[in-house]
Amino acid sequence: MAMPEKVVVELPSKLAAELASANQALITDLLQRGLRDLHVEQALDRYQQGGMSFAAAAEQAGVSMPELARAAYVRHIEPPFDQDMVAEELQ
């Protein structure tokens, strides 16, 4: 496990107040989720612009193709589906 590092971030006062009572685990979880969502969004943007295949977008985002397909669906992006992906979703 990597050694923790301290990072200082300036936040809007309302957000800082919300996080003031949060413990380290919650803040770490929030940051990990936010970065993951950002990576998915960036990968879908590149896919939608034709800059990469759907599989490459999933790899870049660090998620499976079915997981990226669900995120694409939420954004009204039509990803390609094959029989393997459909079977995995139905399990």
Helices (H), ranges, 3-81: 13-19, 24-48, 54-61, 65-74
Domain boundaries, position 61: 54-91
Specify the number of domains making up the chain.
Answer: 1
Q: Is residue 89 part of a domain?
A: yes
Q: Rounded to two decimals, what is the model's pTM?
A: 0.73
For 13-68, write each residue's pLDDT tens digit.
999 999 888 898 999 999 999 999 999 999 999 998 888 889 999 999 999 999 99
- 47 assigned to some structural domain: no
Smallest CA-to-CA distance from 71 within 49, 42, 30, 32 is with 42
Q: Is residue 62 part of a domain?
A: yes
Residue at 45 is within a domain:
no
- Is residue 67 domain-resident? yes
Is residue 3 very low, low, confident or very high in pLDDT (cuts 50, 70, 90)? confident
pLDDT tens-place string over residues 56-75? 999 999 999 999 999 999 99
- Above 80 in pLDDT, residue 81? no
**Residue 80 Ramachandran class (φ > 0 left, ψ -120 to 50 alpha, else beta):** beta
| Residue 75 lies inside a defined structural domain of this protein | yes
Inside any domain, residue 7: no
